[in-house]
């Protein structure tokens, strides 16, 4: 799905470099978040001897009970998906004009 956003301003400076810089900065923040989330997922995987993908499948199927640890793991899995989606969207952004 292609999206287009138009931004206008009365500012006397070129907006394009500012927006490019803001996106670049956000991408760095997202990269750090992805790294930390993957590290936390690796800790769960090692602790429970189960991949996060398998945990996700089994948790969704209710084969794994809800517990504090499992809910924490689930939140990390969901955080990873959200961060990946945001990173992909911003990394694919292109400026026209």
Q: Which residues of 10-47 are buried (b: 16+ CB within 10 A; e: fewer)?
A: eeeeeeeeeeeeeeeeeeeebeebbeebeebbeebbee
State yes or no: pLDDT of 97 exceeds 80.
no
**pLDDT tens readout for residues 18-45:** 999 999 999 999 999 999 999 999 999 9
Listed by start position, the domains of the chain span 16-89
* Residue predicted with more confidence, 43 or 95: 43
Please tell me what DSSP assigns to residue 12: S
pTM (2 d.p.): 0.88
Please tell me what DSSP assigns to residue 13: S
Rounded CA gap, 23 and 18, in Å? 9
In which band, very low, low, confident or very high, does the pLDDT at 3 lie, cut at 50, 70 and 90? confident
């Amino acid at each position: 799905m292609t999206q287009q956003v138009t931004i206008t301003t009365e500012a006397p400076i070129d907006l394009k470099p500012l927006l490019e810089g803001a996106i670049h900065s956000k991408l760095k923040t997202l990269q750090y978040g992805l790294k930390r989330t993957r590290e936390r997922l690796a800790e769960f995987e090692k602790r429970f001897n189960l991949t996060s993908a398998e945990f996700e499948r089994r948790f969704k199927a209710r084969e794994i009970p809800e517990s504090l640890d499992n809910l924490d793991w689930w939140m990390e899995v969901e955080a990873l998906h959200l961060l990946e989606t945001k990173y992909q969207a911003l990394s694919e952004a292109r400026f026209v004009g």
